[in-house]
Chain A
């Protein structure tokens, strides 16, 4: 047996501070960065086309933006379900405390929403003007509002639109990065929790956000096209998969770097973090997040990117790897947020988390919150057609 200052003996009593028995940030706070990460990643895909001119991504560029918007609309939903006093949520905007990282969240959300909305409205302006001319009454007024009352679609006006679109998309990159980096910082800035307080946290969140967003776009694109029995642009999917491979290598490397750093530095709380990963989180971290959902995709992505794979197999492989990576990011969020709270600040023990079914932060609520963005995506697709290319092809 080790002495009192040694690691293992800390855990003998498995003592959890009485106020640490309850996990305060539960599944809704897992969903919050998951949803905002999907927004961030989807936006990156659009930016690759609109800012960096990656032509092969044209078929999904508009879809990515609408996808991002439908998820961005829902980012506040889990937060509201989590808050003890949701009716006071506007206090964050009205009386923000400048010292708090969280106080900036509302403003960042609004800036991100504004940039994304403007970008979409400029992008669809010509189409919306046509719809405005075709419709009457309230519907016409609705389209008039969406086009800012301007029905000028002359070449000069459209050229100006293009410049505005490029500017907004370029502006969107730092905005989306700060928005999701901020979410990572919310955790990285909690010094009381040794598994959170690392400057790597915003970086890890950012790259995993890109991974989840790109995966979400790939999977949604393939599934929607299959349902509509429309052709899948494999050149586009190949570009996405190559991008995904790059981002995932970065994301996974940083995730492992954080664990390795803890392990190598062996600082005061190392034994607690080690005990957490090898104890309560063994299955969800080592087996699921690292084993099945990270090494599996690395092999599949390696196969897809480094070998000549037939188009049909490529599409199936892409859908599978995207699905697994969406799970990987979800496990990562779970292990960081729920996992980090299992470790008591007593440094002597771990608590347990048992998700409930019917709680406002329970499993049913999680399923509902995850379904809402897809319903919104459907509604938004009625206003902003996702596949302009499809019409041109036919």
Chain B
């Protein structure tokens, strides 16, 4: 009886050549840019690219529209991926507010809203009158308490309006964490330095929207240039909608605005 011919028994040399070609070719694809220029993301904040970044002339604003947030948690996921945020710490989070007919307010934010609010709360027996979601992040204050208290100047407000942390200088004393009225900061468990939301400064400098803004499916998070009279944020702030900031009485003058914010929100 004739034995079936094995695929290896034919031309071993040819087979090894093919495997080598495939391996080398595949590896090169990973290393070479392979036309990265074609994959470049188009400019999302107009007028950033192809002009010098004058630090003192920038004026950005972040607006959260409460009436649009659906609590999907996409922003939290995007943020966690963008910065590899360790579990249990939050650069941004989404709160869920419920209000019963006696005006009692119930708030929660399990895992900072990372998994999205897919199921209703079952622990409240009262009939709920109203519910809404409130995304939180760094308020990018014009008079930031964190900057004031940092003993070594590791936290600073850049002339372009961004409050940032120099992790190479931070001593990890956590005074800024105590001082932030919004609890937007945490101590990174690996670097042991203070961290917080930067409004994706690295993306903004490249004309890209912050990660959370770019993934928001309902446009609840908006970011833009106030120097541009046509930008959406300028239009909203000029418009008739109710605009406010969190904890105004703190006197920190946040550059994070809330549209349609409810009085229950702290």
Contact = CB atoms under 8 A, between A and B. Distances in A.
A235 interface: no
12 contacts: A3-B102, A9-B103, A9-B105, A13-B106, A13-B108, A18-B111, A21-B88, A24-B174, A25-B174, A85-B170, A88-B172, A346-B183
B173 interface: yes
A3 B264 CA distance: 11
Interface stretch (B6-14, B39-47, B57-65, B142-150): B142-150
A17 B183 contact: yes
A22 B89 CA distance: 10
Contact of B112 (A18, A85, A347): A18
B17 to A, nearest CB: 55
Given A15-B107, A84-B173, A25 B183 contact: no
A15 B111 CA distance: 13
Interface stretch (A57-65, A95-103, A258-266): A95-103
Nearest to B147: A99
B174 A19 contact: no
Given A4-B105, A18-B112, A24-B187, 5 more contacts: A13-B108, A88-B152, A105-B151, A341-B178, A345-B183
Contact of B148 (A13, A88, A91, A100): A100
A92 B171 CA distance: 9
Contacts, number: 145
B104 A102 contact: no
A341 to B, nearest CB: 8
A10 B106 CA distance: 8
A20 B107 CA distance: 15
Nearest to B250: A191
B147 A15 contact: no
B105 A345 contact: no
B31 to A, nearest CB: 36
Chain A: interface secondary structure? loop
Interface residues of A, number: 49
B194 to A, nearest CB: 8
A135 interface: no
Interface of B: 88-90, 93, 95, 99, 102-109, 111-112, 136, 145, 147-154, 169-175, 177-187, 191-193, 249-250, 263-264, 266
Contacts of B106: 12-13
- Which of B105, B108, B148 counts the most chain A CB atoms within 10 A? B105
B178 A25 contact: yes
Given A89-B171, A100-B150, A191-B181, A4 B109 contact: no
A13 B151 contact: no
Given A19-B184, A24-B187, A97 B151 contact: yes
A186 to B, nearest CB: 8
B109 A18 contact: yes
B153 A97 contact: yes
Nearest to A189: B149
Contacts of A83: 171-173
Nearest to B265: A346
A22 B187 CA distance: 10
